[in-house]
Structure 1
Amino acid sequence: MTISTRKTVLSGLAMFGTVAMLAACAQAPATTDDTNSAAASDFLPCMVSDAGGFDDKSFNQLGFEGLSEAADALSVKPITVESTSETDYQSNVQNLVVQGCSLIVTVGFNLAAATVESALANPEVNFAIIDNDADLNFDGKVDAPNIKPIIFDTAPAAFMAGYAAAGYSKTGVVGTYGGMQFPTVTIFMDGFADGVAYYNEQNGTDVKSLGWDVASQTGSFTGGFAAGVESLANAQGLIDQNADVLLPVGGPIFLSAIEAIKSSGKDIAMVGVDADLYETDATNKSLFLTSILKGIKVSVSDVVTGAGEDSFDATPYVGTLDNDGVGIASFHDFESKVPSTLSDELDAIKAGIIDGSITVESPSSPKQ
């Protein structure tokens, strides 16, 4: 199956602003007999979150865990700064530069403009950005030689999750909505909707996918990445249309979807994004059919460790199904509720995507 490539227009850059909350830093002593330890002793890794903070049970949290893991291995103490709004991005990044950070990891597409500006102004500092290719000029090149993009081709994993959602649905209706219309959001929605379409094609069914139109690249969004009334309204709108599987894409917005599901009293499942929400939000684990996974923790840990060992490489990291940079979680508590053949079908789909017999494409897929 080949799904045609579609084009979309990327719009909106982060606003610059002020205000930062800064933490103190301590470094481990250098040893004379270990080159890597000596390099690490002078190494100061830092991170700026997007709105949502480091306990969002999603991409900010995974990035923080990867940073912490690498810092522990290198015996250094990182500086981490949380952004509460888009006006914090530029000042947060700049204040980390002032504090002498060796590597600054920025979390999320929203920080692209601040990251590029700071990298160009401070060529002696290395940067990494999660979920963005640092190509604000749209010329296919990273805008500064000291930025390493950490990006993920999540469309194939979302495709598998869409297939699974269609296979599980009892009402024949599933739905999705996003935080903001960014490529890192819509790539999930593209894959999910196409996976539902593939399920219908393969099984002669007519499961409806609501909330996102792949052809026109239009759909439902909350306008931000925080839980609240907008997310609740989007989730409720899908529930009112009889959807029994929901895919909210955008960090903590899934928390409002959970609220809507519980209020409805209906048997509705959820598909998580970025992390395995069954594990990161154990209180609500009974709701999660599966999750679309990004290897954010592992990739950030590897990038930080490499930089700490004086081997920073600005070549983009692209997570794929083939390198296990993306995937889907197990069905956990839903194992007995999904069709018995579904897992085998998903294994075959994964193999087909990897060997090229099934082509999954999104206009938001990273360049490789």
Structure 2
Amino acid sequence: MKKTARTAAVVGIAALVLAGCGGRPSDTKASSNETPSSPASSSAPAESHPDFKACEVSDSGGFDDKSFNQTSLKGLTDAKTDLGVQTAQVESNSDSEYADNIDALVKQGCNSITTVGFLLGDATLAAAKKNPKIDFSIVDFAYDKAPKNLKGLTFNTAEPSYLAGYLAAAESKSGIVGTFGGLNIPTVSIFMEGFRQGVEKYNTDNNANVKLLGWNGKDGSFLNTFDDKSKGQSVAEGMIQQGADVIFPVAGPAGLGGLQAAKDKGVKAIWVDTDGCVSASEYCDVLLTSVMKGMDVAVEQSIKDAVDGTFTNEPFVGTLANGGVGLAPYHDADSDISQDVKDKIDELKQQIIDGSIKVG
């Protein structure tokens, strides 16, 4: 797609974003996912804004991807519970549907519309310009100059991916780890680059030579799809055949194929966007951790801003410092990871937060 805007992959402030609507029943809910900054359940009474309609449109990965879209949808359903708004959502089946799906939500009378994913950048910008009375938000995209009613929400996932890369290198027995992406777009390669830098940090600190397959800092292994699980499994199996014993798929539903390959071959993996032990619990036994993005919190906050009349076009980015991104708990792998490695991960996290380590 044409790049009419650039992705914001810089450090910034908290995660905010999203509000979507569409052709599926408004009470459709995704599976619960934990995110870095998800608050504990509140006993406070829910607000009530029955005349406000918050809507969301997915990318072609769909709302049941156990990752990116599913977590974003949770923000919408949380807003329904906490704010008492109407909600609706439409699921895209292909990239060609984005503009039409957004237009369908406009016609449904949505007060706010959230689009999910970098690939919806052009269609979202066009819709926001055409409909200035609707507040638009988009996950994983930011604009050089956005209309007043359009907010970009980005996440500096290079930061927690750096920690994941260090962890993968530390836990590798073969000295080889691998990563692959869905598409070669900034919101995918940012994970892979952070991961690469983390592996390099481990090598530097430990006089080691752990090799990374699938990304060299400029180019790497991409499926050219987010939907083909069998393709993800095939690429992961190829990396495992080359000796990789930790796999880091950044490919949405297609990445689940990488987890299946890890499970079948008895190696480890690291998931992205959500806590994989929650969203894809059948693979928890092979996961070291997950690189998480607080998209549900961001989505709900963006809807609340629209409800409250405080919505702005100022872009936001989630970081380790503000809790918008982070690593999931180690879960089943906890007893296998040494305390020294855990302490080092905590130390590196603090160094990224205080600026002594620059990632990205």
Same fold (TM over 0.5): yes
1:334/1:11 CA distance change after superposition, 3 Å? farther
Shift of 1:88: 1.1
Aligned to 1:196: 199
Shift of 1:113: 1.1
State which structure, 1 or 2, has the greater radius of gyration over its C-alpha atoms: 1
**Match of residue 163, structure 2, among 160, 164, 183:** 160
Q: Does 1:54 align with 2:63?
A: yes
For residues 250-305 of structure 1, the C-alpha deviation after alignment (integer angstroms, 9 at most, x for no partner) is: 211222112323443xx311100000001111122101110001011111111112
Q: Does 1:150 align with 2:153?
A: yes
**Match of residue 208, structure 2, among 189, 205, 208:** 205
Shift of 1:25: 6.3
Between the aligned residues of both structures, percent identity stands at 42
Aligned to 2:336: 337
Aligned to 2:296: 297
Find the aligned partners of 2:354 and 2:209 in 1 and give their Cα distance: 27
Aligned to 2:34: none
Find the aligned partners of 1:335 and 1:25 in 2 and give their Cα distance: 39
Note if contact 2:203-2:209 (Cα within 8 Å) is conserved in structure 1: yes
**Match of residue 112, structure 2, among 103, 108, 124:** 103
Aligned to 1:29: none
1:100/1:332 CA distance change after superposition, 3 Å? same
Aligned to 1:219: 220
Aligned to 1:251: 252
Look up the equivalent residue of 2:93 and give its one-letter code. Answer: T
Unaligned residue ranges in structure 1 (runs of 5+): 1-9, 14-19, 27-35, 362-368
Shift of 1:11: 6.2
Find the aligned partners of 1:348 and 1:21 in 2 and give their Cα distance: 44
Q: Does 1:67 align with 2:76?
A: yes
Find the aligned partners of 1:303 and 1:11 in 2 and give their Cα distance: 26
Find the aligned partners of 1:37 and 1:277 in 2 and give their Cα distance: 31
Note if contact 1:227-1:255 (Cα within 8 Å) is conserved in structure 2: no
SS in 2 for 1:213: coil
Q: Does 1:358 align with 2:344?
A: no
Shift of 1:109: 0.6
Query: How do 1:11-26 and structure 2 match up within 5 A?
Result: 22-23=23-24
Look up the equivalent residue of 2:132 and give its one-letter code. Answer: P
For residues 20-41 of structure 1, the C-alpha deviation after alignment (integer angstroms, 9 at most, x for no partner) is: 9724669xxxxxxxxx967x33
1:89/1:342 CA distance change after superposition, 3 Å? same
Note if contact 1:154-1:320 (Cα within 8 Å) is conserved in structure 2: yes
How many correspondences in the alignment? 326
For residues 339-364 of structure 1, the C-alpha deviation after alignment (integer angstroms, 9 at most, x for no partner) is: 23011101110111111111112xxx
1:124/1:11 CA distance change after superposition, 3 Å? closer
SS in 2 for 1:301: helix
CA RMSD of aligned residues (A): 1.9
Shift of 1:338: 1.7
**Match of residue 102, structure 2, among 93, 104, 115:** 93
Look up the equivalent residue of 2:355 and give its one-letter code. Answer: G
Unaligned residue ranges in structure 2 (runs of 5+): 5-20, 28-45
The structure showing larger relative contact order (alpha-carbon pairs under 8 Å, at least 6 residues apart) is: 2
Shift of 1:211: 0.3
Aligned to 2:145: 141
Find the aligned partners of 1:23 and 1:179 in 2 and give their Cα distance: 26
